[in-house]
Amino acid sequence: MITFLQATFEGLSLGAVYSLVAIGFVLIYKATDVLSFAQPALVVVGAGLISALAVDRGVPFWIAFIVGILLTGIIGLVMERTFLRPMVGEPVFSVAILTIGIDILLRTVLNNWIGLNPRYLGDPFQSFGNFGSVNVGGVTLKYLEIAALFTGVIIIILLSVFFKRSKYGVAMMATSYDQEAALAQGINVGRIFGLVWLISGVLAGFAGFFITGGFNTLTQASFLSALRVLPAVAIGGLDSIPGAVIGSLIIGLTQGYVAYYQLMLEGVIGFSLGSGFSLIAPYLIMFFILIFKPDGLFGTKEVERV
Amino acid sequence: MSNVISFKDVSLNFGGVQALKNISFDIQENSLFAIIGPNGAGKTSILNCINGIYKPTNGSIEIFGEDTSNLEPDEIANAGVSRTFQNIELFENMTALDNILIGAHRHINYGPVQGLFFSKKARNEEEKARKISEDVIDFLEIEEYRYSYIISLPYGIQKRIELGRALAMQPKVILLDEPAAGMNNEETEDIARFILDIHEELGITVILIDHDMNMVMDIATEVVAMDFGEKLFQGLPEDAAKDQKVIDAYLGVSG
């Protein structure tokens, strides 16, 4: 039972982090029709910025945290303005390839900076006692994971009210449905695009911190964790924000359960699945779900542009 | 009476097709200006030029005395020009109320961060927009459809909601592209009554395209007749009905 709770907690915390990136991905797709494969790169760039400020430059952590996340948002904004705005109206496929180009660019620069040694983010979570964790009834709750879960939930609640109730959210919905009609209502579509990329960048920055914070550290391989957002989005459906959250939770929980129950599972099936199977499991789940629901669990049926 | 909109030698080409040929006219404040003509005459192109979706190939358009060649459609909308579309372009995935609230978009003024935390200012501004929207809903008698999703509503009601979205902008000029198209007599009469109210009670300049000649003749204060991108006639509606060129082009040559 304790193992189960432990795995569930870790899975939910991970899922909350993935859902931040997944929401950004879906937002961009909904509002601008762009499949942005650069989102996972933005995640690690955000972490890199925080680390560079907090550790290399010695800026107090919380300032570095806020500045790093805002800078990630601004990088998103600049990417949209410089690379993607001129591509409005071009085939979705070309634009998607362009975002892969941006992804490679960002990661090359970042990996060059990271180098061979893991980078710490200078956050307070590693220095708390017990390796930064608290024990509740036998379940080890890492402070970083608790923070991730809380931050994720708060951001999701704030954003869902924002999208439903504020003029910006309603304008985003309108823009995603019909740009011409949105323009005729006096909505500045360009500004909405910019806002969407800014929000997505900020969300990626938050996720970057939680994925690489504490003892997780930022390495050249951290990107692989961020990449797991793609199966989450595919499972949820490319154009559904609730789908993005649920897809992310499915991926997070899968990873959590497989990590703890793999041995038991191997005992039942009689052969080894190899180390690191928990990292592959999300993709298997994705294949399985897409066989039955090709548009994802919550995706619109006629997403004709993929 | 000052000019609200002036076309000066406006031409619009799509490749080899000339949609508009040297069109000039002035639309005066508080007029109910009708544009008539057969299909493909260039009526909708005129509206698209006014609200900035198309830019004229030659010539210029002035709105409230300002040249619009460098303005984007959203800037023209924010100057107080709203419109409806020939084929309804509502946001079908939203409720009627949300659609009308989007019309009031330009009256809502707060930043994204205030929106995220729903500050007092954001709440006040949203309430103000809601008030504008409710007035429009009253005016058009669509109270019962407020929370219905557009996709579930009948065509005639959708037309009325699109009109509501345009009114929620509280425009100075409203462009109506075939507001009575596809409607039965009763619905057409309703729409005609609303258009008259918009013109007379709200004092909004109306630019109207319609095929229903009886309605146009009844309510318009001035008529422009178009054919193949050219202006055939401009004047009073009763004179349009007598003009030989208009009769030939629009009502058909007899024999």
CA gap A113, A44 in Å, rounded: 12
**Which pLDDT band, with edges at 50, 70 and 90, does A180 fall under?**
confident
Contacts of A174 in chain B (CB under 8 A): 91, 94, 102
**For B175-196, how does the pLDDT look when each residue is reduced to its tens digit (9 = 90+)?**
999 998 888 888 889 999 999 9
**For A188-227, how does the pLDDT look when each residue is reduced to its tens digit (9 = 90+)?**
999 999 999 999 999 999 999 999 988 888 999 899 889 9
Domain shared by B66 and B142, yes or no: no
Domain shared by B103 and B64, yes or no: no
* Final residue of a structural domain among B134, B167, B200: B167
Note whether residue A8 is domain-resident.
Answer: yes
**Which pLDDT band, with edges at 50, 70 and 90, does A266 fall under?**
confident
* Final residue of a structural domain among B133, B167, B201: B167
Domain shared by B152 and B95, yes or no: yes
According to the model, what pLDDT value does residue A271 have?
A: 84
CA gap B32, B175 in Å, rounded: 10
Q: A166 vs B91: CB contact, 8 Å cut-off?
A: no
Q: Are B204 and B32 in contact (CB under 8 A)?
A: no
Who has greater pLDDT, A299 or B193?
A: B193
Domain shared by B66 and B141, yes or no: no
Domain shared by B4 and B74, yes or no: yes
Share of chain B above pLDDT 70, in %: 97
Q: A178 vs B118: CB contact, 8 Å cut-off?
A: no
Note whether residue A190 is domain-resident.
Answer: yes
Note whether residue A193 is domain-resident.
Answer: yes
pLDDT average, residue stretch B38-46: 88
Mean pLDDT value across chain B = 90
Q: How close B95 comes to chain A (CA, Å)? A: 11
Q: For residue A48, give its domain range.
A: 2-221
Note whether residue A156 is domain-resident.
Answer: yes
Domain shared by B127 and B178, yes or no: no
Note whether residue A183 is domain-resident.
Answer: yes
Parallel/antiparallel/unpaired status of strands B3-14 and B17-28? antiparallel
Domain shared by B76 and B185, yes or no: yes
Chain B residues near any Cβ of chain A (below 8 Å): 51-53, 72-74, 77-78, 82-83, 85, 89-94, 98, 101-103, 105-106, 108, 110, 112, 115-118, 122, 125-126, 129, 165, 169
Note whether residue A287 is domain-resident.
Answer: no
Q: Are B92 and B42 in contact (CB under 8 A)?
A: no
Q: For chain A, how many structural domains are there in total? A: 1
According to the model, what pLDDT value does residue A306 have?
A: 43
ipTM: 0.85
Q: For residue B6, give its domain range.
A: 1-80+171-255
Q: For residue B239, is pLDDT > 70?
A: yes
Note whether residue A248 is domain-resident.
Answer: no
Q: How many helices (H) and strands (E) does chain B have?
A: 10, 10
**What is the count of residue pairs from A and B with beta carbons less than 8 Å apart?**
90
Q: For residue B255, is pLDDT > 60?
A: no
* Final residue of a structural domain among B167, B195, B215: B167
Q: A184 vs B90: CB contact, 8 Å cut-off?
A: no
Helices (H), chain B: 43-50, 73-78, 96-103, 112-117, 120-140, 155-168, 185-200, 213-219, 237-242, 244-246
Q: For chain B, how many structural domains are there in total? A: 2
Q: A186 vs B77: CB contact, 8 Å cut-off?
A: yes
CA gap A235, A243 in Å, rounded: 8
The helix/strand/coil state of A106 is helix
Q: A interface mutation test: which of B48, B68, B74 has the most A CBs within 10 A? A: B74
Q: B126 vs A166: CB contact, 8 Å cut-off?
A: yes
Q: Are A237 and A243 in contact (CB under 8 A)?
A: yes
Contacts of B77 in chain A (CB under 8 A): 183-186
Identify the residue whose tokens are 């997944």: A22
Domain shared by B193 and B215, yes or no: yes
Contacts of B10 (CB under 8 A, 6+ apart): B20, B22, B23, B24, B49, B56, B58, B59, B60, B61
Q: B interface mutation test: which of A157, A175, A185 has the most B CBs within 10 A? A: A185
* Sheet containing B173-177: order of strands: B81-83, B173-177, B205-209, B32-36, B222-227, B230-235
**Which pLDDT band, with edges at 50, 70 and 90, does B141 fall under?**
very high
Domain shared by B66 and B182, yes or no: yes
Domain shared by B133 and B178, yes or no: no
Q: State the CATH number of the domain containing residue B58.
A: 3.40.50.300
Note whether residue A113 is domain-resident.
Answer: yes
**For A88-139, how does the pLDDT look when each residue is reduced to its tens digit (9 = 90+)?**
878 888 999 999 999 999 999 999 999 989 999 888 776 666 667 888 888 8
Domain shared by B117 and B95, yes or no: yes
Domain shared by B35 and B100, yes or no: no
Host H or E run for residue B20 = strand B17-28
Q: B89 vs A165: CB contact, 8 Å cut-off?
A: no
Contacts of A241 in chain B (CB under 8 A): none
